[in-house]
Amino acid sequence: MNRTVRTVVCSTSIFGAVFGLTAPALAQDEAPTSTSAATFFGRLYTPGGLTAEVAAARAAETSFSAQARAAELRAAAAQVDDALYAFFPRLQGTARYARLSNIDQPALGNLVSAPNAPSGPLAADAVLVNVPFAFPVILNQTTLEATLSVPLSDYLWRLPKSYAAASGNVEAAELSERASRLNSAHEARLLFYTWVRALAQVEVAVQAERQVRQHLRDAELALGAGTVSKADVLRVRSQLASAELLVVRAKNLADLTTAQLRVAMHEPSRERPGLGEDLRELLPPVEGAASIEALEEEAKTQRLELKAVDLSITALEKRTSATRSLYLPRIDAFATATLANPNQRIVPSREEFDGTWLAGLQATFTINDVLTARSAVDQLLAQSEKIAAERAALADGLTLEVLVAQKALYEAQAAEATSARGLASAEESYRVRKALFQAGRATSVERTDAETDLTRAQLEAINAAVDQRVARAKLLHATGRDVSR
């Protein structure tokens, strides 16, 4: 339960505490035909108004926590792209120009040449020329080079596992985003029913105030007739003041829950919406609610949080396996094409572009990489153990969540039945005590007690009806049945 829900629950508890302290002041209304929870909900019902599902949908759509998870999803998707690009052979191009300093090239002697003679033995009359032998000094160097590198060993050991780990992280991030939206929707449903409870309590408080005013009028008439004392009238007036204060507090609580619901939905309008969910309708039974074992198993298979954690653990295992590949030598195939002026492979050098190439295999083994890889593997294993422990704790929490929700549903169902009987008895008791008081055959205290019992029974009937819907929503969320909504 988040801070917003806790605030509302605390506010509701305060309302109940105040009611307990000021109960005598809430017990005087003209006897209604019916004061059941359905009556109050019928007064609040507005066709086309806000429902729990609408509130949940708006909260899920605008959830900031879900937006944060969506950003994490985009980051995970980018990591998948990186893992995919690692499969591509590495192609590198280089263009370089250099101006060299002039040097004095040493002479290597002279060569004798017959420039006009054909290849082969020289004729006796061939003209011989003495030619100095030296390498030319070329001061301008221009090189165009392309290198292709193919990580052969990575294709076998590292890249497939890295890609699988990145893909698993994406799936986990997707489930985390969905789970975050479901949690926001669930919290909005609980806020919605807390808001409904507060609205109904305002109706009860207003009716209780009317009862006190009627009691005061009857007491003043009885004082004139001499059947009650001045103290009785003053006590009823004190009760009226408490009832008026309770109305103010109930309305403030309704305003607070309205604001909290509006914030959860990120609704800019400050107008109080109408209640569009008819709480007088009977709820269908929750299928399979009797078997706690089946509910717990359903939660373990349906809840997205567990699925996301499982995917994260699998992704870590893949990543660990990929890191272990650094224990082995790295094997690369490479090829380089060079177009240079002058080309260093051409001897003697000449001032023109010449193209050459080379290709081969290379095995690399770095001891330092093995040491760092081992440290990285240890960190990944520790992280995996941590997540596994958190997963076990999450599973335990879900088990308790399901159990609490199931028991709360049974309790709410029982409370709805008993509160209906208690309310019927309280209504009849109030009707009789009021008539006896007006006839001078009952004391003001007896009538006050009957009024107090009636108001308390009304609140219990309202709470039972709302609690049943709250417990139902909690059980559906705990078992993961809201995933398919």
> How do strand 275-275 and strand 45-50 relate by DSSP bridges?
parallel
Contacts within 8 Å (CB) and 24+ apart, 256-259: 256/7, 256/8, 256/11, 256/198, 257/8, 257/11, 257/191, 257/194, 257/195, 257/197, 257/198, 258/195
Q: What is the pLDDT of residues 253-269, one digit of tens each?
A: 999 999 999 999 999 88
Q: What is the pLDDT of residues 355-414, one digit of tens each?
A: 999 999 999 998 888 889 999 999 999 999 999 999 999 999 999 999 999 999 999 989
pLDDT of residue 34: 54
Q: Is 337 helix (H, G, I), strand (E, B) or coil?
A: strand
Beta bridge partners of 332: 151, 362
Tell me the Ramachandran region of residue 67: left when phi exceeds 0, alpha when psi lies from -120 to 50, beta otherwise. Answer: alpha
* 338 lies in some domain: no
Q: What is the pLDDT of residues 210-232, one digit of tens each?
A: 988 999 998 898 888 888 889 98
DSSP string computed for 39-60: HHHHHHEEEEEE-HHHHHHHHH
How many domains in the chain?
Answer: 1
Residue 141 pLDDT grade (very low, low, confident, very high; cuts 50, 70, 90)? very high
**pLDDT at residue 350 is higher than 90:** no
* 150 lies in some domain: no
Q: pTM (2 decimals)?
A: 0.78
Q: What is the pLDDT of residues 157-190, one digit of tens each?
A: 899 999 999 999 999 999 999 999 999 999 999 9
Range of the domain at 439: 3-87+157-330+366-484
* 145 lies in some domain: no
CA gap 449, 28 in Å, rounded: 10
* 116 lies in some domain: no
* 96 lies in some domain: no
> How do strand 354-364 and strand 330-341 relate by DSSP bridges?
antiparallel
Q: What is the CATH classification number for the domain harbouring 382?
A: 1.20.1600.10
Q: What is the pLDDT of residues 288-343, one digit of tens each?
A: 888 999 999 999 999 999 999 999 999 999 999 999 988 999 999 999 999 999 99
* 451 lies in some domain: yes
* 468 lies in some domain: yes
CA gap 121, 112 in Å, rounded: 14
* 112 lies in some domain: no
Q: Is 132 helix (H, G, I), strand (E, B) or coil?
A: strand
